[in-house]
Amino acid sequence: MEVIRVGDSSADPGLVRDVAQCLRRGGIVGMRTDTVYGLLASVNRPDALHRLVELKVRSREKPFILLAADWNVVRSVTSHLPPVARRLGSRYWPGPLTLILPAAPHLPEEVTNVGATVAVRVPRDELVGEILREVKAALAAPSANLPGEGPAVSADELVRTFGSSLDLILDGGAVRDTLPSTIVNCAGPSATVVRSGLIELAPAELEAS
């Protein structure tokens, strides 16, 4: 397990390529996302997703949120985009808004709710975005913690919790704002807020039309 210190500015292209290669090979990377530290694994690597389930000591009935680089990747993991989801995503992405959408049938069970839905976010963090574009796939991105514990807010916490179980850790410093992303379920007849977070939505924004 390697720990690499990264700054707030755009990452070195060589580092982005190395991280993307690690993920494409089935590695698990710990790093800051838009909110707290997360554990990243490629949705195209069943072996990495299985490891992620074991690391998180997590039931498969509790699927992982996906990070996507752009709308093209979002469309690849959904069966269709409801109008309210397109509207919310167009306004708040990239940013800390997670949308629950109808899942594409090919997705692995680790990232779907019994095959029915998938939770997706387009992050605004520049480094995460560069890695997503280089990987050219969605990334499973659960928070970096064990059941009953708060999410890691520093690379040191990540090392203490998961140690050498991770392939790579990017140390982006301590997290200043620990509020999570706002989660909105757009898969039903009407949109509903599942978890309040960094983005506050007005009731009118959740209307279907």
Q: Could you tell me the pTM of the whole model? A: 0.93
Is residue 100 in some structural domain?
A: yes
Instruction: Count the neighbouring beta carbons within 10 Å of the beta carbon of residue 165.
Output: 13
Number of domains in the chain: 1
In this structure, is residue 63 part of a structural domain? yes
167 assigned to some structural domain: yes
Strand order in the sheet with 29-32: 2-5, 168-171, 29-32, 37-42, 139-140, 66-67, 117-121, 97-102, 182-185, 192-195
Chain centroid to CA 36: 11
Please indicate, yes or no, if residue 205 is contained in any of the structural domains: no
- Strands in 91-189 per DSSP E: 97-102, 117-121, 139-140, 168-171, 182-185
Domain contains 158:
yes
CATH number for the domain harbouring residue 6:
3.90.870.10
For residue range 74-114, list pLDDT tens digits in order.
Answer: 999 999 999 999 999 999 999 999 999 999 999 999 999 87
34 domain residue, yes or no:
yes
208 in any annotated domain: no
For residue range 164-196, list pLDDT tens digits in order. Answer: 899 999 998 888 777 889 999 999 878 999 999
106 inside domain? yes
Segments forming the whole domain that contains residue 62 = 2-200
